[in-house]
Amino acid sequence: MGIVNVTPDSFAESLRTLEPGAAIDAALRIESDGADLVDIGAESTRPGAQPVDAAEELRRLLPVLRGLSGRLRIPISVDTYKSSVAAAAVDAGAVIVNDISGLHRDPALAGIVARSGAALVLMHTRGSSAAMYAEARYGDVIADVTRELRSSVQSAVDGGVALERIIVDPGIGFAKRAEHSYGVLARLPELASALGRPLLVGASRKSFLRAASGDREAPQRDWSTAAAVTAAVLGGAHIVRVHAVPAMLQVVRTAEEIRKHGH
């Protein structure tokens, strides 16, 4: 899953733009680079980010979705936790809603997804983007994340979303300190077994990688990302969300070969 951020404050890219044409070109390039999916977001949810209202999010997002209509062949995921944004996005061609809040911020999103027939990604986090690290307290990180994601899955099913359309994301870097994120990566098979749903893992260029590789800026963390992506694939991830698609495609294919020959 390649990433397109239509925001002025993306943490991980040197190019930050609200210009629809640049975002459209980026999505088309991600497809040509070999990605299977593209995830488009119009609100930064990095730690410390300030929220954006639905009207502004749609102002940024809809021109990109409309510009990709009939041009992009791979499925589009929209990165939003707002039901009104999700409704407009699926009407404009998105087929996956990627909710970083796990339905905690806007439970009405479940009904929107259910009626549209879209797939739903439920990510684990705690608290707001501005204060998530205050919530990074765990007894056993995998047990706690599993329990909280199971609750999100149940909320989605109760809201009408078919179980087979639900993907779970352990939320690397969200309300987790570095040791928690590494712990999740190391124990992904436990999470996958406990939840029984496909896993999406997004570790690309995140700040937890600095604990191992030093204080590098986000665009210089691709080697560290490659190690995390390898661990994710070997741990059973079905989707990895990345910035550097051509490089990570090689990483994923190699890791898949290793995994395939381990059985």
Catalytic residue set: 206, 241
Distance CA 188, CA 252 (A): 16
Distance CA 78, CA 86 (A): 7
Query: In 3-state terms, what secondary structure has residue 218?
Result: helix
Distance CA 30, CA 242 (A): 10
Is residue 245 a contact partner of residue 30, using CB atoms and an 8 Å limit? yes
Two tokens at 176? 């987790």
Distance CA 6, CA 259 (A): 35
Tell me the Ramachandran region of residue 204: left when phi exceeds 0, alpha when psi lies from -120 to 50, beta otherwise.
beta
Which of 235, 230, 237, 238 lies closest to 255, judged by CA?
A: 230
Which of 123, 134, 140 lies closest to 47, judged by CA?
A: 134
Half-sphere exposure of 92 (CA within 13 A, CB side): 21
Strand 200-201 and strand 239-240: pairing? Answer: parallel
Q: List % helix, strand, coil for the chain (3-state, nearest 5).
A: 50, 10, 40
